[in-house]
Amino acid sequence: MRIVVFCCENSAYQAARQSRLPAEVDLIRLPCGGRVEVLHLLRAFEGGADGVLVLTCQEDNCQSLHGSARARHRVEYAKEILKEIGIDPERLQWHPVTSNMGPRFQKIVADMVEGLKLASA
């Protein structure tokens, strides 16, 4: 199993650093959630990812004002595409994770792993 986690450097990436990460996780560090493109999300699945997480700052606490909101919109858009091509859109998720919330990061990843295990069972 492989989970690709796109992390905003300012928040989720810091949280990831406080967490124990399962071996399945690949972290992709971004300067801001707003940098993520739909193409990246789809390419992640193409490259063999079973699940993709986009973890950014809280929407109203983004250093670049609307970077997190844009990340969320792109995730929603990519979910539509996934639906059309027959991939469970739940395999792609957006969550806000602040820099001091290691436990939340860990829980989101664990939930994703759990969900994927259930889906493949």
Partner 1 sequence: MARWGAFICDGAGVDESSLAGAEVVVTTTLPPQAGDLACKLIGTWTRYNLDGGILIGAVPELVEELLKESLRQAGLDPFRLVVVDLRGRDKEGKDREIKAALTRARHLEPTHWAKAKVEQRALIIGGGAAGLQAALSLRQLGLPVLIVEKEESLGGRLGKLDGLYPYDVDPQGWIKSTIATLQEDPEVEILTASKPLALAGQVGDFILEVQTPTGAVTRRGGAVVLALGSKVRWPQESGLEPGPRVVGLSRLDELTRFRLRHKKVAFLLDLDELGSRVGTLSALRGALRIKDNWGSEVHVLCRHLKVDGKPLESMYRKARDMGVLFFKYEEFPQVTESGEEVTLQFKDPDLEYMVVEEAYDLLIVEEEILPAGEELMEAWSVSQPANVRLYPVATNRKGIYMVGCCRDEMDFPGAIQDGTVAAGEIYALLGEGDLLYEEDRVKVRSEKCVFCLTCVRICPHGAAEIDLVQEAAFINPAACQACGMCAADCPAQAIVYKGFDNEGIMAQLEMGGR
Partner 2 sequence: MKASALVIGGGPAGIGAALELAAAGIKVYLVEKEGAVGGWGARYVCKATDKCRQCSACLIPEKIQEVYQEPLVEILTNTQVVGFAEEAGRFQVRLQREQTLDPALCNACGKCLEACPRGAVERLNPWAVAYSIDKEKCAVYAGENCDLCARACPTGAINFQRPSASWDVSVDLVVAATGHQPFDARRKYRLGYGRFPRVITGLELEEALNRIEGIDIFGDGWKPMNVAFIQCVGSRDVQEGAEYCSRVCCKYALRLAGLMRHREPQTQVTFYYMDIQTGGKGFSEVYQDCREHFAFVRGIPAKIDGSDPLKLHLDGVSGQSFTTREHDLVVLSVGITPSPDNEEIARLLTLNRDEHGFLKGREGVYVAGTAGGPRDISESLAHGMETAAKAITKLEGREG
68 in contact with partner 1 (CB under 8 A): no
116 in contact with partner 1 (CB under 8 A): no
- In sign, the C-alpha dihedral spanning 93, 42, 110, 102 is negative
Binds partner 1 (CB under 8 A): choice among 7, 54, 67, 116: 67
Close Cβ partners of 101 (under 8 Å, ≥ 6 residues apart): 15
The neighbouring-strand residues paired with 54 are: 6, 94
107 in contact with partner 2 (CB under 8 A): yes
Binds partner 2 (CB under 8 A): choice among 8, 11, 70, 71: 11
- Tell me how many degrees the CA angle 78-21-93 measures, rounded to the nearest 5: 15
Residues 34 and 64: beta-carbon distance below 8 Å: yes
24 in contact with partner 2 (CB under 8 A): no
Q: Which two tokens stand for residue 87?
A: 């991939």
Round to whole Å and give the CA distance between 92 and 4. Answer: 10
62 in contact with partner 1 (CB under 8 A): yes
66 in contact with partner 2 (CB under 8 A): no
| Binding partner at 64 among partner 2, partner 1, none, C-beta below 5 to 8 Å by kind | partner 1
101 in contact with partner 1 (CB under 8 A): no
Binding stretches for partner 2 (CB under 8 A): 10-11, 14, 17-18, 57-61, 96, 98-104, 106-107
